[in-house]
């Protein structure tokens, strides 16, 4: 890492202040929005501009302006664990709509799911009484934003998946339970569902088996529901994981169409909620109020559930099918390729089998052609040995306008075909 002359960074400073996959992603996205408006943005996880969803947020903002609640939202600090009225409303929503036995004491509001995971990973794991405690990711590939969140060496470990063929040009990753050995150093397991980057959704058996393993070891199972249940609900097979004591669930406001408010909800046992609140007071003082204020009245009925079921999920299902058809037509049988089964989230996960160059180099070539993607190696971390597979993969988002997605996917196919 390059440091200014005469300045020495701590080990943690170097770890957090150095380059990372998530920093590269956000830099690319930010530069494209401001400096390269012609860039085809197939890399980020930003939600699409869905007219019905945007109309709802405009309606709520108009109501807040009319009744004056916007003033309270903008002019006050809430407690670091979240606005008490919002926490009450969220707990009632989860009891009513999801059947989760929770109260306000099980709800913490955080500045984002990613910052919540950073605090959780370092609350539960790391150097502990002279021993190393670790977070286990049971299903790689996994979210790029987790990869650099550990504050000490060896804090993360991960398991390779079983890869099964589910259809022509289609695969699915499964948890390889033969690799998940009991290890007293494991402090928690963590998985996103649907998984970012692949859109993989845990099976009911996988979910219950992971929960049973964690319960037997007395450790929490962390489920990041940013794209899933209960909202925005972009899970195409209907799976709805259920929170139980001992688990930690994260629910994001970003993917329901509010990434700019930077709010997320953590559902956990009361001691975890209290610890996160204390940590948030130290690192953030308080949360943003706007997202909580926008959502609070919408938690009193089934508005958010219906929004996901009737609008957001069908929108992404259609976009997903459209993107898959474009890519399949462009690649044909010219190269060996497969997509992960489209089970949820906003992404295509493309595997070019035997890709002659690393995916990182393909990313650079595509960037020169005004197409931004994310190379797969960023989603493989916590391993003790090299894994070639993600170096043959790309994460592609289809949340951009259809013509942008089509242009980008066709350029990707052109560049890949050149290599074979």
Task: Return the HEC string of 312-323.
Answer: HHHHHHHHHHHH
Question: Do the domains at 11-53+310-418 and 78-306 have one common CATH topology?
Answer: no
* Confidence at residue 19, expressed as pLDDT on a 0 to 100 scale: 79
* Confidence at residue 4, expressed as pLDDT on a 0 to 100 scale: 55
* Confidence at residue 11, expressed as pLDDT on a 0 to 100 scale: 84
* Confidence at residue 182, expressed as pLDDT on a 0 to 100 scale: 75
Q: Residue 165 corresponds to which tokens in the numbers above?
A: 């063929």
Cα–Cα distance measured from residue 89 to residue 51, given in angstroms and rounded to the nearest whole number: 26
Widest Cα–Cα separation across the chain: 62
Q: Are 252 and 52 contacting, i.e. CB atoms less than 8 angstroms apart? A: no
| Cα-only R_g, the chain | 21
Strands lying side by side in the sheet with 347-352:
162-167, 170-174, 337-340, 347-352, 393-397, 374-375
pLDDT in tens, the chain (420 residues): 555 557 888 888 888 887 777 777 667 766 665 667 789 999 888 899 999 999 999 999 999 999 999 999 999 999 999 999 999 999 999 999 999 999 999 999 999 999 999 999 999 999 988 899 999 999 999 999 999 999 999 999 999 999 999 999 999 999 999 988 778 999 999 999 999 999 999 999 999 999 999 999 999 999 999 999 999 999 999 999 999 999 999 999 999 999 999 999 999 999 999 999 999 999 999 999 999 999 999 999 999 999 999 999 999 999 999 999 999 999 999 999 999 999 999 999 999 999 999 999 999 999 999 999 999 999 999 999 999 999 999 999 999 999 999 999 999 999 999 999
| DSSP assignment letter at 344 | B
* Confidence at residue 396, expressed as pLDDT on a 0 to 100 scale: 97
Cross-strand bridge partners of residue 393: 351
**Within 13 Å and on the Cβ side, how many CA atoms surround 223?**
27
Q: Could you tell me the residue ranges of all domains in the chain?
A: 11-53+310-418, 78-306
* Confidence at residue 23, expressed as pLDDT on a 0 to 100 scale: 76
- Residue of 399, 400, 348 lying closest to 376 (CA atoms): 348
* Confidence at residue 130, expressed as pLDDT on a 0 to 100 scale: 86
Q: Are 357 and 343 contacting, i.e. CB atoms less than 8 angstroms apart? A: no
- Residue of 150, 136, 149 lying closest to 219 (CA atoms): 136
Cross-strand bridge partners of residue 223: 191, 249
> In this structure, what is the dihedral angle of CA atoms 272, 91, 139, 20, given to the nearest 10 degrees?
-70
Best CATH choice for the domain 78-306 from the list 3.40.50.150, 3.20.20.70, 3.30.465.10, 3.40.640.10: 3.40.640.10
Cα–Cα distance measured from residue 340 to residue 21, given in angstroms and rounded to the nearest whole number: 21
Q: Residue 227 corresponds to which tokens in the numbers above?
A: 């794209």
Q: Are 346 and 15 contacting, i.e. CB atoms less than 8 angstroms apart? A: no
- Residue of 184, 181, 175, 172 lying closest to 134 (CA atoms): 184
| DSSP assignment letter at 175 | -
Q: Are 204 and 73 contacting, i.e. CB atoms less than 8 angstroms apart? A: no
Instruction: For tokens 């910052």, name the residue.
Output: 115
- Does 3.90.1150.10 match the CATH number of domain 11-53+310-418? yes
| 322-327: long-range contacts, CB 8 A cutoff, minimum separation 24 | 322/398, 322/402, 322/405, 323/348, 323/396, 323/398, 323/405, 323/409, 324/348, 326/405, 326/406, 326/409, 326/410, 327/409, 327/412, 327/413
CA-to-CA separations, 258 to 24, 206, 294, 340, in angstroms, rounded: 22, 30, 10, 27
Q: Are 125 and 149 contacting, i.e. CB atoms less than 8 angstroms apart? A: no
Q: Are 148 and 16 contacting, i.e. CB atoms less than 8 angstroms apart? A: yes
- Residue 166 burial (10 A CB sphere; 0-12, 13-18, 19+): exposed
Q: Residue 168 corresponds to which tokens in the numbers above?
A: 């022509």
Query: CB 162: neighbour CB atoms within 10 A?
Result: 14
* Confidence at residue 185, expressed as pLDDT on a 0 to 100 scale: 95
Q: Residue 113 corresponds to which tokens in the numbers above?
A: 């799911």
Query: Which residues, including other chains, have CB under 8 Å from residue 376's CB and lie 6 or more apart?
Result: 141, 197, 349, 359, 389, 390, 391, 392, 393, 394, 395
Cα–Cα distance measured from residue 239 to residue 200, given in angstroms and rounded to the nearest whole number: 11
């Amino acid at each position: 890492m390059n440091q200014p002359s005469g300045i020495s960074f701590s080990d943690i400073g170097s770890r957090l202040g150095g380059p990372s996959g998530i920093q590269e992603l956000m830099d690319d996205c930010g530069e494209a929005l401001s400096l390269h408006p012609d860039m085809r943005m197939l890399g980020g996880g930003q939600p699409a501009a869905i007219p019905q969803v945007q109309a709802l947020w405009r309606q709520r903002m108009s109501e807040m302006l009319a009744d004056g609640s916007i003033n309270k939202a903008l002019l006050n600090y809430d407690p670091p664990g979240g606005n008490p009225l919002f926490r009450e409303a969220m707990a009632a929503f989860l009891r009513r709509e999801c059947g989760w036995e929770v109260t306000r004491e099980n709800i913490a509001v955080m500045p984002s799911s990613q910052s919540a995971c950073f605090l959780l990973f370092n609350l539960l794991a790391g150097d502990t009484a002279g021993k190393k405690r670790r977070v286990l990711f049971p299903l790689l590939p996994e979210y790029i934003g987790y990869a650099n969140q550990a504050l000490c060496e060896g804090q993360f470990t991960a398991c390779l998946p079983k890869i099964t063929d589910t259809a022509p040009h289609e695969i699915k990753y499964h948890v390889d339970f033969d690799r998940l050995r009991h290890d007293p150093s494991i402090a928690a397991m963590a998985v996103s569902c649907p998984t970012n980057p692949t859109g993989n959704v845990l099976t009911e058996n996988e979910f219950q088996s992971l929960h049973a393993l964690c319960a037997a070891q007395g450790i929490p199972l962390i489920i990041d529901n940013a794209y899933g249940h209960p909202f925005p609900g972009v899970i195409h097979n209907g799976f709805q994981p259920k929170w139980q004591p001992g688990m930690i669930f994260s629910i994001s406001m970003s993917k329901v169409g509010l990434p700019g408010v930077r709010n997320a909800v953590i559902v956990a046992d009361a001691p975890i909620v209290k610890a996160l609140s204390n940590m948030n007071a130290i690192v953030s003082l308080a949360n943003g109020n706007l997202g909580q204020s926008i959502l609070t009245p919408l938690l009193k009925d089934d508005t958010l559930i219906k929004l996901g079921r009737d609008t957001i999920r069908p929108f992404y299902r259609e976009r997903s099918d459209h993107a898959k058809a474009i890519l399949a037509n462009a690649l044909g049988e010219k190269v060996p390729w497969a997509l992960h089964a489209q089970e949820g989230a906003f992404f295509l996960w493309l595997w070019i089998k035997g890709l002659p160059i690393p995916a990182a180099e393909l990313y650079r070539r595509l960037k020169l052609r005004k197409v931004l993607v994310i190379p797969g190696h960023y989603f493989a971390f916590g391993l003790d040995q090299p894994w070639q597979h993600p170096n043959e993969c790309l994460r592609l988002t289809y949340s951009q306008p259809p013509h942008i997605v089509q242009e980008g996917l066709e350029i990707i196919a052109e560049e890949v075909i050149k290599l074979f």
